[in-house]
Structures are given as structure tokens and as C-alpha cells.
Structure 1
Amino acid sequence: MTDVAHMKWWGWGVEGVGFHHEDKPAFAPFVKKAVGLDVSAPPAAVDDFSTVDVPASRLPGDALTALTAIVGAGYALTDDLERVVHTYGKSIRDLLRLRAHLLPRVPDVILYPADEAQVALIVEWAVANDAVLIPFGGGSNISGSLEPPVAEERVVASVDMGRLRKVVDIDEYSGLATVQAGVLGPDLEEQLGARGWTMGHYPDSFTHSSLGGWIATRSSGMQSDKYGDIAEITKGLRVVQPNGTLVIRPIPNSSTGPSVREAILGSEGRLGIITEATVQVHRVPERREVIGYLFKDWESALVAMHDISTSDAAPSITRVSDARETGFSFATRKASTGISSKVTAGLMAVLEKRGWDLDEICLSFIGYEGAPSHVARQKSMVGSVVRKHGAVTLGKGPGALYDQKKFDTPYLRDFLLDRGAAADVSETAAPWSKLLPLYRNVRKAADDAYAQLGTEGWIMCHLSHSEHSGACLYFTFAFVHDGVDPIAQYDVVKSAIQSAFIASGGTLSHHHAVGTEHSPWLEADISAGGVALVQGMFAAVDPGKNLNPGKIVAAD
């Protein structure tokens, strides 16, 4: 084994860490009401890995010798656990297949290059031997970007970039950091923070995802309102391709024809393996605050988010949950018998007297960063907007709790899977004028899908990222599956939601990429001409389809 850390093979995160409900008294009744699931029932045990029947590696012995000569002894691995860990990402489809031991095609070898020169030799070897390469970062992908095509007869190698994890240089005058692509989020921020800098990119998968993965999937983070998404943060790139290394210099802006940089963003390894990026960084802010607010209902909350986005205010986070997700958030709170519980009860009583329906209230978190005077000014501007829409300020306490819990939600999927329920996410973006009807259409589409399946289901939503012209709506859905063919049931719900996105004027994904999960909707999203253009790029760069074939474009 190498020193590159991976998540557990059967679920999210690290062994020994998981979601627990015993200290959250409202959680069990909430889940029972939402999907009819008794969470107190004993969970199903996860199989020991020794019981998993893993298909044998197809890598010839001489090929293993050649690859070991490239990456070094101990860095070309064919053992079963390594290969299974690199077979899928962490979508609910992936987790269901792993737990059911559905492994029709796994990588034949896992390669851990130490530098760009070794990556170039791996690509050269793959083209010469007509093999398939699938880049691997942290393994958190939920759109099917990592799995080998089932019918692939050629040797498949997963190229794990985990050894390339250094901040190479910081141009402090320009605010640019050059970073190796395999670095995971916490390691990146630790290295930058030691010198007083931050990239400010915090996706939900931050703990277990890499810089290269963010770029390859066009990731967005919780603070994208301030720092931009990864497409705005990334200024320069180095990408190993079959015909050499593509170098994109870190220029602030350019009009040198169609953007090659933009083509690499979101390419999911199909246009080469990203080895290094130059990214925009910022000085660690002097002050950071996340303030909680309560809105009377979803409609007023959406209007408030719109008005903030078009005002002079510039918060780092603008997030608001619908009533259902707000109820979920309250249900995951730990028991409290102190003054805070009395304050909460008192506030709710006051709001009820004002005529608020407590089943419709919406919880919002808005973040502020910068010098104390700047933070105070931003809070004042945002406060004026939200008060106009009737919001109540909750203060820093809920925001601090949000900061503590923001990376823990994926563990809940494992908890539900252990008890026979499936939960996953789908997200989209649309213009402000279309958000509310899109939200309603998606809710109805999901409810119709649950009715078709004859099962109780749940769907909730939050607005997670605001732009001047629109925003991202992030949906979480869950249902109790039949235990017979949960993936088929999942497909009914997932397809209904994705189709509603497109029909309502949204995109197939705002920041979770295309992969294989979303490729059926690509043409509806970018038109037949767009698909042809994408296919043309793939064919020009990779005529042998050696680079992660089958992703993004379904026709492949």
C-alpha cells in the first residue's frame, strides 16, 4: 500500500466515522414522518471485503513490469482492495453496487505517478499499448466519471494523482499559487494557510476531493459567491495529452480565440490528465462570520436572495433552505436543555403570534469575510435587504453550527443505506425568473415518481450559490427502496428530477459534472451542435479513445 489515503471501499469517508442519531431526539420521528423509516431498527451489516468476488486483473505480467519501471516499486498495484476502491465514485448508484458486490469491470492496475514526467510516460505507454486511463483524485465523484466501461476489453489503468500534492510556488504580488493537481482540499488549505493564503474553495466533498478533480468537473464551493467557482479560480494549467503536454499560462484574461482553458474545465480526463494548476488565492480574511436568518416562507426567501445578488452587497455565502430542508436541519440538532432551547422556543412562539406558519419557515446562512469594517458594512447592507422581506436574524450561533457540520452530510447516506433507504442529490442552475417554477416542477416530478413506485419519498432543496442572473438549486431526495432492485427504483426518481430540470429551463448540473449519470440529458442542455463540438474535441485530442472513454457524451 502507498501513503495515499482513501475513503472506505463501501461508503463515504473514513472507517470509524459515521452519522449517529441517538443524541438527536427529533431525528427519528422526522424520518418516520418523511419516508416511513424506523431508524431504530438494527442496521444491516456491511460485508467483510474478503467476501467480495473481484474479477481478476487483465494486466499482462510484462505490462506490470513496464509500468513499475515508470512509477517505481510499490506504485503499480493490482491487489483487489486497491482496484475496488478505484472502480466507482460515491454516488448512491455506486454505493448500492459496491454493497451488492456488482463489479462487472474494475481497473486492472492502479498507478501512482510521482510527477508529471511519470504521467507523460504512462500516457505514452497507454497509447502505444491501446490501454485505457482513468484519472483519479479523491474518489468523491457522484456522476459516474470514474467507472470503467462495462464492455471495455482493453487494459484499464486508474491513475491516482495522490502523490502530486504540493503547493509548488506562490506569486504573492499577483495572488497566484501553482499547485500539483492531486492535493486534497484540507492539505491544500493547510499549505496555503501556513503562508497566510487561502483559495476559498469549499465544496461539500472538500475533505475527500482534489484540486484536479475540482477542475475536471467544474466544481463550485460553499463560498463561490466571493471567490468564484473553480472555473473562475483556475488561471493556468498543465495537462498531459497523447501528443504532448498542454500548457496554459496564468494570464488574467485573453482573447486568443476559443478558450482552451475553458475546454479543459469539466473535461473529466477526456482531454488529458491535469498535473498542475495555477489558481487565484487570497489573503486569509481578518474576520469571518456566518449569520443565520429565518424567512417566513420559501417565496420571500428566494426574492431576498435575488435582491442581495443585485445589490451592492458582496457576501461570501448566500444559502437558504426550503421548509422541508429547514425541518431536516432542526431534526439533526442535538438535544438542548439550557438557555438556548428556551430562547428557540420563545422565538417560535413570537413568530407564531406574528402569523408565521412554523411548517413553512426557511433557514438561511449568509457569510461575510474581510476586515472588521468591511464585514460590518456587508452585514448592514444584507440586513437591510432581508428585513425588507420580513426575515429574522438569528445571530452567529447557527452559523457556527453550520460551519461545524457542513462536510458531514454525506455520512447520512451510509446511515440510511444501512437501513434500507436510498438518498442522493441532484442540483441545477437557472435564471432567477425561472427558479420558483422550476422548484415546484421538480417537487411534483419527484412526488409523481414516488407514487409510480408506490413508496414514500422525500425531496428537499436549498439555494446554494447566487449569481447576478440566477442561482443554483440543490435538491436532496430519499425513499425506502424495495430491496429487490433499488437501482431501478433510483433511476425512476433520478430521471424524473433531471428531466424536470431541463423542461423547466435549468441545466443538467451546476457543479457535479456529467460523467455517465447525466449524459442522457446533454443534448437537451447544450443542443446537438454542442454535443458535436464536444465529440470533435475528444476525437482530435484522443483518437484512440484511451482517455476515460464513455464519459460526458453518451454516444461513446
Structure 2
Amino acid sequence: MTSVKHMKWWGWGVEGVSFHHEDKPNLAPFVLKAVDLDLHQPPKPPLAFDDLSIPDSRADEDLLSQLSEVVGAEHTHTDPMERIIHTYGKSLRDLVRLRNGDIPRIPDVVVYPLDEDEVQAIVNRVVAADAVLIPFGGGSNISGSLEPRPAESRVVVSVDLGRLNRLIEIDEESGLARIQAGTLGPDIEEQLGSRGWTLGHFPDSFTHSTLGGWVATRSSGMQSDKYGDIADIVKGLRVAMPGETLVIRPLPSTSTGPSVREMILGSEGRLGVITEVTVQVHRIPEQRLVLGYFFPNWEAGLKAMHEISVSDATPSITRVSDARETAFSFATRKKSKGLSSLVSKGLMKVLERKGWDLEQVCLSFIGFEGGKSHVSRQKSLVKEIVTRNGGIVVGKGPGQLYDQKKFDTPYIRDFLLDRGAMADVSETAAPWSKLQQVYDNAVTAANKAYDKIGVKGWVMCHLSHSYHSGACLYFTFAFRHEGIDPLADYDVVKSAIQQAFVDNGGTLSHHHAVGTEHAAWLEQDISAPGVHLIKGVLNAIDPGQNLNPGKILPPSAEPAPAPRHEPAEGLSAH
């Protein structure tokens, strides 16, 4: 048996860890008011695993023998649990389908290679057998990038990279680290940290996602203002492609035609299996600090974030929540006692006396990293901008809470799903000049969608990942469903928000990839010639559509598989 650990098959995270509301006295009344959901009602658990109707594996003995020859019989699995774990990611759609036993097509076999040579051999043999290969990292994807096509008639092989989990070496003079693609976020930081380095990449999925997955989906981390998105962090790549290994050397900059490195970023397994990544790493900073701020309203918060982005300040985190998300954050706090409770109440009274509308207050987190003098200077610059925009500093307490809770949000989604509510996210990026327009129209679109399906819904947003020219807006939406066809209602809301993004100058996704969830908006995002370019690249590398087909491109643009011929040299099945 493999030693690779996975999340629970029916939800986020590991067994025994879940969200609960009993120690958060304000949450139940908040949720009742927001989406008309009573949190005190008993939860409805998902189907038991034994009640799932799991189709038999279609893998024949010949292919199973070939795969076992590469990775060993103990790392070649056709048992139902392994196959279900590797069927979907962790999107809301994935979880609803799993909980309802809606699993029309699942992988036929799961293999766990140990190194690049084994990955390359698997790619070659799967393509030679005209089977389908789907790379699997931590399984945290929420854009439909992992599931087999429902009507796929060929054998589907899930290649789990979990055993490729090592830091190979660090070039300390250049600050470059070679890391195997299946390494999870915590293991990356542990291995780098023991030698005094950090990658600085902390997406919401950090605990359960891998370096290769971050590259394949163009991930962004919470501290991207300082360290950059994964596209900025990645300097070199090794990719197992049909019959050959692609090598992108880790050079500081090149002028070598269209960027092949960029083609792999965001490719979602359609151009091959990422086996190794060379990344830019940084010495662990002397000081790391996240401070909380309040703004009187959303407009003031946006203006301050914009000013910070073009100022001399260089924070690691710039985040501000709108009034709705701020209210939700307050509602999820544990009951405070003693001095902290008095300080909190006293601060609100001070803000009231200043004329603030407490229902419009917006909570912000801004992070600082570096030497003590640098952090001190950055704090001063930011405080000046915050004050100029009517905001105030509220200290370290909220920042410490942010650090503690930043990876816990997906557990709340499972908690609500157990109780009959759909909760999900959509995020975008747009220029500063269009952010308010995108925000206003996305909120309006969500509320109109709730009216259309006849439910009381909630939508909230925060700004994060600031750039010189714009920023990311991250929306969370929720509503109670009646259980008749929850995904049909979900599609109405999700589609309305996504369409509002592209109609108002935003992108279909800032860091959650395209997958199947967002493919319908690809042409509106990058134009028809852009789709044609992507189609051409995919067809050139994978004419038989053996590598994770059906992702990124809308179905109407998916190329037809090329006629099968004798395997090319290097693709022999034996």
C-alpha cells in the first residue's frame, strides 16, 4: 500500500477535522438572517461509501501489468476507495455529486510513481495504449480540472504524484530550489525552512495542494504582493510529455521566442505531467507581521489599496473585505472575554462617535516582512495612506486571527452543505479603474440570480493580490436550497457572477484555473484567435487527446482525436 495521504473522499481536509459553530455565538443568528438557514437543525450526512454505486475498472490485464512493471504492484491500485478519491477535485459541484452518488465516470486505475523516470514510462505506455492520463496532486482543485469526461470510453489512469515529495537541492547563491512536483505546501516549507529558506507561496489550499498543482493551475498565494504569483516564482520546469521530457532551464530571463514556460503554466495536465519545478526562494525574513485595519466603507478601502500599490510601500499582503464579508468575519469569532471584549466594544463606540456607520465598516489585513527597520518604515508608509483614506489601525489581534484561520475556510463550506446550503467562490482580476464597476455589477448579478431561483442569498467579497495596474476580487456566495436540483440553482448564480466579470472588464479567473467550470467564458476572455492558439498547441502535443482531455477549452473548441497509427519511437508499450 502507498504511504501517500489524501483528504476524505466526501469533503475537505482530513477525517476528524471539521467546522462547528457552538463556540461562535453570533454565527447562527447571522446565517439565519443572511440565507434563512437554521444551523441548529441536524446535519444530513453524505451517502455512506458502501452505498455508492462504483463501476468496475475497465483496465485490462495487459495495461495493469505494464503499469505494475513501472511502479510496482503495491503502487498500482484498482480498489474502489482509491479510484473515488481520484475522481473529482473539491469544488462544490464535485462534493454535491459525490454526496449524491453521481459518479458517471471514475479512473480505472491509480498509480503512484516514485520519480521522473517512472512518470515518463507511465506517460509513454498510457499514450501507446490509447488510454487517458490525468495527473493528480493534492486533489484540492475547484475548477473541474481532475474529473474524467463522463462519456470517456477509454481506460482512465490517474497518476498520483504524492511520492515525488522531495526538495532536491538549493542553489544558495542564486536563491533557486529544485523541488519535486508532488510536494505538498507544508512539506515544501518544512524542508526549505530547515535550511533557512521559504517559498512564500500560501494559497488557501496550502495544506492539501502541491507544487505541480500550483503550476498547472497558475496558483496565487496570500503573500503574492511580495513573492509574486506562481508564474513569477517558477523559473525552471521538467515535464514528462509523450515520448520525451521537456526541460526549461532556470534562467533569470530569456528571449527565446514564445514562452514555453508560460505554455506549461496553467496547462492543467494537457501538455504532460510536471515532475520537477525550480523555484525562486527567499531567506526567512527577520520579522513577519500582519496588522488589522478598519475603513469606514468599501470605497475607502479600495482607494487605500490602490494608493498602496503605487506607493513606495511594499507589503506582503494587502487585503480588504467589503462590509458583508466583514460582518461574516465578526460572526465567526469565538466569544471574547475580559479585556479583549471590553476593547472591542470600546472601539466600536469610538467609531460611532466619529460618525462611522458600523454596518459599512470594512476589515483589512496588511502584512509586512523583512528586517526590523524595513518593517517599521513600511508600517509608517501604510499608516499614512490608511489614515488619509479615513481608516484606522486596530493592531495585531486581527492579524493573528487571520494567520490562525486562513486555511480553514473550506471546512465552513462542508459544514453548510451538511445543512442544506450551497456556498462557493468566484474570483477575478481587473484594472483599478474597473474594480468598483466589476464589484457592483457582480453583486447585482448575484442578487438578481437569487431572485430568479426564488431564494434568499448572500454574496460578499474581498480584495487581495494587488498589482500596479489592478487587483483580484474574491467573491463568496451562499444560499439555502430545497434539495430538488441544487446544482441547477447553483449554475444560475455562478454563471451570473462569472458573466458579470467578463462583461465589466475582469478575467474569468485570477487563480482558480479554467478546468471545466470556467471554459464557457474562455473565448470572451482571450478572444476566438486566443482559443485557436491554445487548441493548436494542445493538438500538436497530444493529437490523440490522451492527456487530461476536456479541460480548458469549451467543448465546441475541443479538437477531434487524430487517427491512430503505429506508436512513434519512444512510445512503445513494451
Structure 2 regions of 5+ residues with no counterpart? 559-574
Quote the residue 1:550 is aligned against: 550
The two structures have a TM-score, normalised by structure 1, of 1.00
Quote the residue 1:141 is aligned against: 141
CA distance in 2, matches of 1:97, 1:47: 11
CA distance in 1, matches of 2:8, 2:285: 34
Amino acid at match of 2:16: G
Quote the residue 2:288 is aligned against: 288
Residue 46 of structure 1: how far off its partner (Å): 2.7
Output the aligned Cα RMSD: 0.6
Amino acid at match of 2:359: D
SS of structure 2 residue aligned to 1:3: coil
Quote the residue 1:392 is aligned against: 392
Amino acid at match of 2:520: P
Quote the residue 2:339 is aligned against: 339
1:529 and 2:529 are equivalent in the alignment? yes
Amino acid at match of 1:178: R
SS of structure 1 residue aligned to 2:95: helix
Quote the residue 2:191 is aligned against: 191
SS of structure 2 residue aligned to 1:119: helix
Quote the residue 1:303 is aligned against: 303
CA distance in 2, matches of 1:86, 1:495: 26
1:29 and 2:25 are equivalent in the alignment? no
SS of structure 1 residue aligned to 2:461: strand
1:116 and 2:127 are equivalent in the alignment? no
Contact kept? 2:459, 2:478, Cα under 8 Å: yes
Quote the residue 2:568 is aligned against: none
Residue 253 of structure 1: how far off its partner (Å): 0.5
SS of structure 2 residue aligned to 1:169: strand
1:156 and 2:145 are equivalent in the alignment? no
Q: What percentage of aligned pairs have identical amino acids?
A: 69
Residue 212 of structure 1: how far off its partner (Å): 0.1
After TM superposition, the structure 1 = structure 2 runs for residues 172-191 of structure 1, keeping only pairs within 5 Å, are 172-191=172-191
CA distance in 2, matches of 1:144, 1:46: 20
CA distance in 2, matches of 1:46, 1:321: 32
Amino acid at match of 2:38: D
CA distance in 1, matches of 2:433, 2:63: 56
Quote the residue 1:55 is aligned against: 55
Quote the residue 1:314 is aligned against: 314
Residue 516 of structure 1: how far off its partner (Å): 0.3
SS of structure 2 residue aligned to 1:465: strand
Contact kept? 2:429, 2:473, Cα under 8 Å: yes
Residue 213 of structure 1: how far off its partner (Å): 0.2
Quote the residue 1:201 is aligned against: 201
After TM superposition, the structure 1 = structure 2 runs for residues 36-435 of structure 1, keeping only pairs within 5 Å, are 36-435=36-435
SS of structure 1 residue aligned to 2:177: strand
Residue 392 of structure 1: how far off its partner (Å): 1.0
CA distance in 1, matches of 2:74, 2:48: 25
Residue 325 of structure 1: how far off its partner (Å): 0.2
SS of structure 1 residue aligned to 2:409: coil
Contact kept? 2:109, 2:156, Cα under 8 Å: yes
Residue 45 of structure 1: how far off its partner (Å): 2.2
Residue 62 of structure 1: how far off its partner (Å): 2.0
Cα deviations by residue, 1:8-30 (Å, 9 ceiling, x for unpaired): 00000000000010000000011
CA distance in 2, matches of 1:45, 1:314: 46
CA distance in 2, matches of 1:46, 1:120: 38
Residue 336 of structure 1: how far off its partner (Å): 1.0
CA distance in 2, matches of 1:279, 1:403: 24
CA distance in 2, matches of 1:263, 1:337: 53
The two structures have a TM-score, normalised by structure 2, of 0.96
Contact kept? 2:47, 2:101, Cα under 8 Å: no
User: After alignment, is 57-66 or 277-286 more displaced?
Assistant: 57-66
Cα deviations by residue, 1:269-306 (Å, 9 ceiling, x for unpaired): 00110000000000001100000000000000000000
CA distance in 1, matches of 2:89, 2:490: 17
Amino acid at match of 2:338: G
CA distance in 2, matches of 1:338, 1:405: 22
Where does structure 1 differ by over 6 angstroms across 4 or more consecutive aligned residues?
none
CA distance in 1, matches of 2:148, 2:327: 39
After TM superposition, the structure 1 = structure 2 runs for residues 403-552 of structure 1, keeping only pairs within 5 Å, are 403-552=403-552
CA distance in 1, matches of 2:193, 2:449: 46
Residue 243 of structure 1: how far off its partner (Å): 3.3
CA distance in 2, matches of 1:414, 1:142: 13
Amino acid at match of 2:518: H
Structure 1 regions of 5+ residues with no counterpart? none
SS of structure 2 residue aligned to 1:375: helix
Residue 65 of structure 1: how far off its partner (Å): 1.4
Amino acid at match of 1:366: I
Amino acid at match of 1:29: P
SS of structure 1 residue aligned to 2:359: coil
Residue 127 of structure 1: how far off its partner (Å): 1.4
Q: How many residue pairs align between the two structures? A: 556
Residue 337 of structure 1: how far off its partner (Å): 2.0
CA distance in 1, matches of 2:56, 2:319: 47
CA distance in 2, matches of 1:198, 1:375: 18
Amino acid at match of 1:70: V
SS of structure 1 residue aligned to 2:9: coil
